Chains A and B, each alone.
Chain A
């Protein structure tokens, strides 16, 4: 009898919770179209410190966020009018094609396959594949990696590079996210984490990790970060390119780099020229 009451009550609570969330979300459908005085939807990453991160306060931070805010400002949208949308790596091309977002700034490297699907403004940052190691580590060049334990993200370009060219003999562990790799590095399960230096610098600059890790400073590849826009949307593409040019010339670009990547000893490349892709 007692149990019966308890389960019935918990079922009621569950039902209430469902009803509450259902109500809560049904009243924000007014932000459908972009452009004009309304809102603009921008695709970013939510879980990459220094690049694009949803903070506990609900606000967003990171280099991509700063770039996107600046660009949106030049397109005529105040920061309050930007609606941030999480675009997972696998969904970036489709999200643009469907028009879910106006543009994407989400550590989005320009390559030939992607260029067939979307148009890229920029590049706005030249990143390199690099290693993050513990502060006292003696790994200093790519060949040191053979026989060492290395971590990267499943299916990522960095992981593929390691297996094909950089260090085929390295013992490669793969996780679905960078956070997991960093945790493995911290617990000593792996000797190094590899991906773009910008992403690594973002993690290493976090308060919780400050002073524990360092970047090896190897330039293992060139990753040209671009702003993705819908294929054929040349008007927006041009506006974004102009915005990126001003961002560099008025100093906001350097400010954003220092703010987001500074603490990890990350030496950034000079701002790339629009349309100039470093292979």
Chain B
């Protein structure tokens, strides 16, 4: 492990690290033991409360349909929100006032309204002015709410990433004769997106989790919603929350692992995420190639 922030640990530091690890493991073990004891005291470990999750009905009637709907809404929202966010982020930095200001208004407005209410209004909008059937409407409303909010947030992330790039990047791009659009798509955006990838991934995870808001008011049968139906049947509230939390962790872990694999591929560098990766490093990459892989890769697959 090497990082520019500190030296490779010597023998003393290694010994200290080992000791810390032992202390920490003991502490964790104590906490786990305490949790186990308390759960047992309160009768939460009784097999009859966990047993339903070993039956196929619990999965086929409640959890899997819920998970399917969660993934469907999340995937659609990501595919739409990512490019839309990039467009709004860039539009907000436009040299033209008539592009910059409306983009700014849209971004600021939609990220300040709770997503739950956006979904509620979207649901009503689709009911009044489109012919979407009432089976499909909750999905449309959920995706609309998620896209409006998350595209606004992603726009801000992209913008912050571009603003943080050294000015020399833009100047050099102009100097070799690139136009404004080319500078943005092949020089600035790829670097900004790479640098901001952790924040972008966080936002994608937010999309997956926020699908849960669809079950609160407009009756989208996502995972948390089907959980409450399940818990009402089996009378195992705590257990159902634990299982659903694990499902969400696994789904999002797959998503983040994929994103960090992508991150590594984009950087073509063996540095860990903890390393400081400066703009200088990215100059070593071929910007055009990176732009190519990311532009198609990210928005298609994530």
A and B touch in the complex (CB under 8 A): yes
A residues 229-244 near B (Cβ < 8 Å) are: none
Are B233 and A10 neighbours in the complex by a CB distance under 8 Å?
no
Proximity bits, B133-159, A CB within 8 Å = 1, else 0 = 111110000000000000000000000
Chain A residues closer than 8 Å to B75, beta-carbon distance: 18
Q: How near does chain A come to B67, taking the closest CB pair, in angstroms?
A: 8
Are B232 and A94 neighbours in the complex by a CB distance under 8 Å?
no
Are A206 and B135 neighbours in the complex by a CB distance under 8 Å?
no
Chain B residues closer than 8 Å to A47, beta-carbon distance: 228-229, 231-232
Question: Across the A-B interface, how many residue pairs have beta carbons closer than 8 Å?
Answer: 120
Q: Is A164's beta carbon under 8 Å from chain B?
A: no
A31 to B219, CA, bound (A): 18
A56 to B234, CA, bound (A): 9
Are A10 and B136 neighbours in the complex by a CB distance under 8 Å?
no
Are A21 and B61 neighbours in the complex by a CB distance under 8 Å?
no
B residues 152-205 near A (Cβ < 8 Å) are: none
A residues 90-111 near B (Cβ < 8 Å) are: 90-91, 94-95, 98-100
Q: How near does chain B come to A50, taking the closest CB pair, in angstroms?
A: 10
Chain A residues closer than 8 Å to B48, beta-carbon distance: 208
Are B231 and A179 neighbours in the complex by a CB distance under 8 Å?
yes
Q: Is A218's beta carbon under 8 Å from chain B?
A: no
A55 to B134, CA, bound (A): 23
Are A11 and B301 neighbours in the complex by a CB distance under 8 Å?
yes
Chain A residues closer than 8 Å to B225, beta-carbon distance: 86
Q: Across the two chains, which residue of chain A brings its CB closest to B235?
A: A208
Which of A21, A49, A182, A188 is B71 in contact with, Cβ under 8 Å? Answer: A21
Among B17-25, B101-109, B254-262, B282-290, the stretch that binds chain A is B254-262
Q: Across the two chains, which residue of chain B brings its CB closest to A181?
A: B237
Chain B residues closer than 8 Å to A178, beta-carbon distance: 232
Q: Across the two chains, which residue of chain B brings its CB closest to A3?
A: B261
Are A90 and B135 neighbours in the complex by a CB distance under 8 Å?
no
Are B228 and A54 neighbours in the complex by a CB distance under 8 Å?
no
A183 to B44, CA, bound (A): 10
Are B238 and A86 neighbours in the complex by a CB distance under 8 Å?
no
Chain B residues closer than 8 Å to A180, beta-carbon distance: 237
Chain A residues closer than 8 Å to B133, beta-carbon distance: 29, 32
Chain B residues closer than 8 Å to A18, beta-carbon distance: 71-72, 75
Are B135 and A53 neighbours in the complex by a CB distance under 8 Å?
no
A90 touching B254 in the complex, CB below 8 Å, given contacts A56-B58, A56-B233: no
Q: Is A278's beta carbon under 8 Å from chain B?
A: no
Q: Is A165's beta carbon under 8 Å from chain B?
A: no
A55 touching B237 in the complex, CB below 8 Å, given contacts A7-B257, A21-B68: no
A197 to B255, CA, bound (A): 45
Chain A residues closer than 8 Å to B235, beta-carbon distance: 179, 182-183, 206, 208-209
A88 to B219, CA, bound (A): 6
A53 touching B219 in the complex, CB below 8 Å, given contacts A14-B71, A180-B237: no
Query: Which range holds the interface residue count of chain B?
Result: 35 or more
Q: Is B210's beta carbon under 8 Å from chain A?
A: no
Are A179 and B72 neighbours in the complex by a CB distance under 8 Å?
no
A21 touching B124 in the complex, CB below 8 Å, given contacts A32-B133, A53-B233, A85-B219: no
Q: Is A116's beta carbon under 8 Å from chain B?
A: no
Are B258 and A31 neighbours in the complex by a CB distance under 8 Å?
no
Which of B135, B217, B232, B238 is A91 in contact with, Cβ under 8 Å? Answer: B217
Are A100 and B258 neighbours in the complex by a CB distance under 8 Å?
no
Max chain A C-beta neighbours (<10 A), residue from B58, B62, B127, B134: B134
A54 touching B229 in the complex, CB below 8 Å, given contacts A7-B257, A22-B72: yes
A206 to B52, CA, bound (A): 15
A58 touching B61 in the complex, CB below 8 Å, given contacts A21-B68, A24-B68, A28-B135: yes
Which of B61, B72, B234, B257 is A10 in contact with, Cβ under 8 Å? Answer: B257
Which of A31, A32, A49 is B232 in contact with, Cβ under 8 Å? Answer: A49
Are A17 and B57 neighbours in the complex by a CB distance under 8 Å?
no
Q: Across the two chains, which residue of chain B brings its CB closest to A98?
A: B127
Which of A46, A49, A88 is B217 in contact with, Cβ under 8 Å? Answer: A88
Q: Is A276's beta carbon under 8 Å from chain B?
A: no
Chain A residues closer than 8 Å to B96, beta-carbon distance: none
Q: Is B45's beta carbon under 8 Å from chain A?
A: no
Q: How near does chain A come to B54, taking the closest CB pair, in angstroms?
A: 12
Chain B residues closer than 8 Å to A28, beta-carbon distance: 135
Are B216 and A88 neighbours in the complex by a CB distance under 8 Å?
yes
Q: Is A279's beta carbon under 8 Å from chain B?
A: no
Chain B residues closer than 8 Å to A100, beta-carbon distance: 127, 134, 137
Known: A7-B254, A14-B255, A88-B217. 16 other contacts (CB 8 A): A3-B261, A10-B257, A14-B258, A25-B68, A32-B133, A47-B229, A56-B233, A57-B57, A86-B225, A91-B218, A91-B219, A98-B124, A98-B127, A206-B235, A208-B234, A209-B235
19 contacts between A and B (CB under 8 A): A47-B228, A47-B229, A48-B232, A49-B233, A53-B232, A55-B233, A56-B55, A56-B62, A85-B219, A87-B219, A90-B216, A94-B124, A95-B219, A100-B127, A177-B231, A177-B232, A183-B238, A188-B42, A209-B235
